[in-house]
Amino acid sequence: MPYLYGKQIMLRDYRQEDLPAIRAWVNDRKAIRYLSSRFWMPQSLTDTSDFLSHAMSAGTNGAYFIIAELDSEAYIGQIDLFSINWRLRSAEMGMVIGSEKDRGHGVGAEAISLILEYAFTILGLNRVELEVAAENARARRCYQKAGFQPEGVKRKAFMVDGQYADLVMMSVLADEWREKQNSRSTIDQP
């Protein structure tokens, strides 16, 4: 995987030494509250190791990245494109910021910006989609700022704190993303 550099973070490949950082949040109820069932508790060391091995050896249907500190390359979280469909040029996206101390500081927004640029300009995808718990307002705002648009709701298709919850389906298309990038560059110019 290439390294993708932002202003405060970088996206890099998964490494075996990321295992302790992933283990630090993978059984934290607050951290996994809105994550897919892949990360539902309890996660054994074997479960986490299997996920890490999969991410490190992903074939052509996935692009898996660690969100890392720019200088030290230390683990902050992860952002992945998975289920890449090369015929339709589409992928699903998932992201987690492992520690609460790293949330709310623009790390997620920057990671999304980097991965969308990679998806649309390097991989040549046309669509990136995701599902997010309807009550996860922080994530939904972040995704919308990045250009994702709501497409619909899957009613009671998820569990949050043992209760059924709705999932909002969102996507961003390459032409929408490019238009947003062009409008930003126009605003940034004197």
- Residue 28 CA to residue 42 CA, distance in Å, equals 9
- CATH classification at residue 34: 3.40.630.30
**Polymer length in residues for the chain:** 190
Which run of H or of E encompasses 184? helix 174-188
For residues 49 and 97, the answer to whether their CB atoms sit within 8 Å is no
- Could you tell me if 65 and 80 are in contact, meaning their C-beta atoms sit under 8 angstroms apart? yes
Residue 107 token pair: 């790390």
Per-residue pLDDT, 182: 85
Q: Is 190 exposed, middle or buried (0-12, 13-18, 19+ CB in 10 A)?
A: exposed
Read off the pLDDT band of 185 (50, 70, 90): low
Domain containing residue 145: 4-188
Q: How far apart are CA 146 and CA 113, in angstroms?
A: 7
Q: What is the pLDDT of residues 39-60, one digit of tens each?
A: 776 888 998 999 899 999 877 8
What letter represents residue 36's amino acid? S
pLDDT band of residue 108 (cuts 50, 70, 90) is very high
Q: Which 8-state DSSP code applies to residue 118?
A: I
Radius of gyration for the alpha carbons in the chain, expressed in angstroms and rounded: 16
- What is the number of domains present in the chain? 1
* Residue ranges of E strands in the chain: 4-5, 9-12, 63-69, 75-85, 90-97, 127-133, 149-160, 163-173
Question: What's the average model confidence in pLDDT over 150-159?
Answer: 95
